[in-house]
Amino acid sequence: MGLATAGIGLLSLVKLPLLAGGLLVLGGLVAVGYEGVELDLPGRRFRHFTGLLGARFGLWLPLPAVARVVLKTHSDILVYDTDRRSAAVPNRRQRHLTLLLSVPNVAIGQVIGEFALADQTQARAAGQQLAEALQVPFVVMPDV
């Protein structure tokens, strides 16, 4: 998205220099932005944030009562839009590892991170470290 915005900014540079410059800056900022999860264990809170130029933006939420930290595989179904003129593209599944906090009486835990299947060692280390910090068990599901 950031590169597309920057591209439009370049195209508009000749006709609308102020707008083009703004789009170039916005596109550059979006291109270097990132997302993550931040935990404040002493404060018992967490947030999903968007990082931009060293600043992190996101709402802090209370850390729920955690029963365990879980590492499991997860599949996202990628759905492709098609119109009447194009051939239907079959849906695909994208598998990855999900690290989550298991919370009592909640069907789906709080997702803390997602890792590529190839990053299993990193995912296990992060899960173990988080479980130790929270003083709860670390469970690796059999499909990992």
pLDDT digits (tens, 9 = 90+) for 78-102: 666 555 555 555 556 678 899 999 9
Sign of CA dihedral 104, 68, 57, 121: negative
Which of 32-36, 50-54, 95-99, 108-112 is modeled with the greatest confidence?
A: 95-99
CB 93 within 8 A of CB 76: yes
Share of the chain above pLDDT 70, in %: 65
Answer yes or no: do 120 and 100 share one domain.
Answer: yes
Answer yes or no: do 68 and 133 share one domain.
Answer: yes
Answer yes or no: do 6 and 42 share one domain.
Answer: no
Answer yes or no: do 94 and 113 share one domain.
Answer: yes
Cβ neighbours of residue 39 closer than 8 Å, sequence gap 6 or more: 45, 46, 63, 112, 130, 133
**Which of 20, 46, 63 corresponds to the end of one domain?**
63
Range of 56's domain?
33-63
Beta bridge partners of 50: 35, 57
Answer yes or no: do 111 and 69 share one domain.
Answer: yes
Answer yes or no: do 58 and 77 share one domain.
Answer: no
Closest CA to 47 of 55, 57, 37, 56: 37
Tokens encoding 58: 């996101």
Tally of structural domains, the chain: 3
Which of 11-15, 50-54, 61-65 is modeled with the greatest confidence?
A: 61-65
Give residue 70's pLDDT. Answer: 95
Answer yes or no: do 94 and 121 share one domain.
Answer: yes
